[in-house]
Structure 1
Amino acid sequence: MSEEACRRRRRRSLVLDVAMAAGFTLLDTASTLLGLSWWPERPGTLAWVLLGVQAAACLSLLARRRAPLTVLAVLGVFTLAVTLLISPGGVLVPAGPENVWAPFATIAAAYGPLYYRRDRRLAFAALGAYTLVIARVWDPSVGVLTDAVLRTAVGPLLALYFDGRRRVVRMLTERAERAERERGLLAERARAEERARLAGEMHDVVTHRVSLMVLQAGALRVTAADEQVRQAAEELRAAGCQVLDELRDLIGILGAAPEPDAPPSAADFAALVAESASVGTPAELVEEGDRALASPVVGRTAYRIVREALTNVRKHAPGARVDVRIEYGQAQVRLTVRNTPPTGLPDGPLTGTGSGLGIAGLRRRVEVVHGTLRAGPSPDGGFRVEATLPSYVPT
């Protein structure tokens, strides 16, 4: 329930309590003056004082939610005092000796202890004692006894009814909310299963075709007479193998069970750095920590980040030096690729060969493994790519 709804509910409760207290005060004052209660034929100072005390006791209904037993005790003490003043005190002589001397506010007061309190044993004990006071069991009368039981029974019966109704409504509401949550979970599970099924089918189809390409490239590397053709076939075969590895990672994340695989080794990262240096972009690799802490998916994601970052440096920052730092930790793998400012102008045709979506694609891939990626210019005029990945991602 929102805060505004709670405020509206408290205002409604306050208005209801004020109206009820004022209503019962007027009702009891009027009925007393009409001789329906303890009012004497010739009222004196004591009678008028008691009438004021009765009005104050009825106004205690304002606290019936916060202190229901206190309200019941106030009305009970007033009723007992009036009863003792009449008999055996004889100080007050009512016009109707067979009337019930308790205020009508007793009905509302008897409602509170059973509805607003969890411990009902004390409530039942208080109501029983109050019933004995109203019924004047030391001076029994059938009419008074009947009226006393009705006044102290109507409120509790209503309290038990409304409390039971409230519990039933709450239970039905919780059951409906639980059913809604279960339907949502079942729908999510069905979507996940369908996604895994489609991912498995896609894996089977794509893997089959790419595997054929890899085999054909391998055969061409062996049979070709031209060295350049053999080199191109080897590059094609290696690229196809890498595609299969990355496809296996993605399918594993989507829910299909991949075969066990190892993350890229130090030689793989070193090969990227050496490849970058061979084309005129000096790069330095620093690895800290135990590489075995990173699961295969995390290792290959780090590999793709380094590869994309080095590719961007070659395209957009000719002459820059690159520092690659990878830190393996128990919980996280931190990766930083930073290059110095370029010393020359980028090659226009080369920079136009890309799709412009390399960093965006990396960010999506990093988000899939619940990591973060930041890329942007550094204060010295270079460029910096930072990634934080969880060390373990199940696939």
Structure 2
Amino acid sequence: MPRQGKWATRLAWWDGKFRSLLLDLLIASLAVAMPDDPAVWQQWVLIPGNALLFGGLLLRRRFPWIAVLASSAVMVLAGSGDQSMAVVVALYTMAKQRGPVASTWGAVAVVTAAQLTRLALPNLASLWTNGTATALLGLAAMLTGFVGMPTLLGLWLYQRRDLLRSLRERAVQAERERDLLADRAVGAERRRIAREMHDVVAHRVSVISLQAGALTMTATDERTEQVAEVIRVSSSAALSELREMLRALRDDAEHPGGDHAAPTLAGVAELVADSVAAGAEIALEMPDELPETSTAVGRAAYRVVQEALTNAGKHAPGSPVLVSVDTGPDGLAVEVVNARGGGTTVVEGSGYGLIGMRERVTLAGGTLQVGRTAEDGYRVRAEFPVLEPAAAS
């Protein structure tokens, strides 16, 4: 446990603050006093009484009743107003700690009786014979100052603390409800997207896969059969990945990881081979022994190559493409360069390909560079920092 935590535990009776303990020590020390000329019986009674008063004021935040009873008793026995401030502090503490409850009103009655005993009884005869309005007003003022004011101040602070606590609880509750509503809204939106993807994208990819399979069976030449088979395999893989995305969007707890493995750096070779089988002119430069990478880096590198090859096929169909994977002491570099094409295909794009690539590379801790080459071609280069062991992912 940290040192500050230990002190907070030890000072729990003083609100965890050392200055509160010092303040109570000061108040308890000032309250312990003897009359100017005490009688013998007062000395014998007030010595243990003052000890009890000292302890009661020191622990007033935890046991306010002890402080109230001890200060009232010592004030009456001493027969002077030296302990009046101790009574004020004890009554204020009781009202602040307990609030408007029976124990607080009981303490008010005890202190009022003690003040009346100290002020009124010694002068009862004179008040009876020569009582004046001035004397009664003075007595009422003394009771108001030493009983009413500390009680009202303590009750006000109790209500203020209770109000602040209620406001904090309401703020926490409001924040919790806001987060819950936001989670519900996100969940509803995710389910809506999943439904749209299932109803539109999955259906169309399924149609492509079925048509490609039929074309494979009815192809009149070997080249058409090969291209149709590549389309069928690619569309089937797209359907598998789409199912995993739908599961993730729906938060399917029964299939947290899915049956489809996440793409890795090793999958780049197969990705290039599929594109070559579909008729693309792609050269691949990759070391024989691939380095171990984290899941995020491997996935980002694969997606960069995938998106770059897709863009090259759309914007520069038929142009040669070079895919290179380089490793070094500083990390991993993946580069895709295509020459200038003779035209574009009719396939429309969403315009978010480069944005998605940059987000993936950034989340993996890398940097992305895209732009024209000196030969008017196009280059996509992603660089990732020092490689992390695959086990770390």
Q: Which TM-score applies when normalising by structure 2?
A: 0.53
Say whether the 8 Å CA contact 1:218–1:233 is kept in structure 2.
yes
Aligned partner (choices 52, 63, 70) of residue 26 of structure 2: 70
Paired residue secondary structure (1:84): coil
Say if 1:276 and 1:190 are closer, same or farther in 2 by CA, change over 3 A.
closer
- Provide closer, same or farther for how the CA distance between residues 337 and 272 of structure 1 changes in structure 2, counting only shifts above 3 A: same
Partner of 1:222: 217
Q: CA deviation at 1:284?
A: 1.0
1: CA distance, partners of 2:246 / 2:208: 20
Q: Distance in 2 between matches of 1:201 and 1:181?
A: 30
| Aligned partner letter, 1:284 | M
Please tell me the root mean square deviation across aligned C-alpha atoms, in Å. 5.2
Which residue of the other structure, out of 323, 333, 337, is the alignment partner of 1:336?
Answer: 333
3-state DSSP of counterpart to 1:215: helix
Counterpart selection for 1:209 from 204, 207, 217: 204
- Tell me if structure 2 keeps the 8 A contact 1:246–1:300: no
- Paired residues, what number? 283
Shift of 1:309: 4.5
Q: Please state whether the residue corresponding to 1:287 is helix, strand or coil.
A: coil
C-alpha displacement of 1:375: 0.5
- For residue 229 of structure 2, the aligned residue among 222, 234, 247 is 234
Match of 2:369 in 1: 376
Secondary structure of the structure 2 residue equivalent to 1:179: helix
Given that residues 306 and 324 in structure 1 are in contact (C-alpha distance below 8 angstroms), is that contact kept between their aligned partners in structure 2?
no
Q: In structure 1, what is the equivalent of residue 303 of structure 2?
A: 304
Report deviation, 1:210: 1.7
Contact persistence 1:276–1:282 (CA under 8 A): no
In structure 2, the residue matched to 1:252 is: 247
Q: TM-score, normalised by structure 1?
A: 0.52
Distance 1:189 1:264 in 2: 29
Structure 1 window deviating more from structure 2 (221-230 vs 129-138): it is 129-138
Q: Percent same amino acid at aligned positions?
A: 26
* Correspondence 1:289 to 2:292: yes
Distance change (3 Å), C-alpha of 1:215 and 1:348:
closer
Secondary structure, aligned partner of 1:385: strand
Matched position secondary structure for 1:164: helix
Query: In structure 2, do the counterparts of structure 1 residues 64 and 151 end up closer, same or farther at CA, with 3 Å as the change threshold?
Result: farther
SS in 1 for 2:290: strand
C-alpha distance in structure 1 between counterparts of 2:207 and 2:247, whole Å = 22
In the aligned structure 2, how far is the partner of 1:319 from the partner of 1:235? Answer: 19
Structure 1 alignment gaps of length 5 or more: 1-62, 89-112, 328-333
In structure 2, do the counterparts of structure 1 residues 311 and 224 end up closer, same or farther at CA, with 3 Å as the change threshold?
closer
Cα distance in 1 for partners of 2:206, 2:345 equals: 31
AA of the residue aligned to 1:214: S
Q: Are the structure 2 counterparts of residues 142 and 263 from structure 1 closer, same or farther at C-alpha, using a change threshold of 3 Å?
A: closer
> Which residue number corresponds to residue 62 of structure 2?
120
2:189 pairs with one of 183, 189, 195: 195
Cα distance in 2 for partners of 1:272, 1:151 equals 89
Relative to structure 1, is the Cα distance of residues 275 and 221 closer, same or farther in structure 2, using a 3 angstrom cutoff? closer
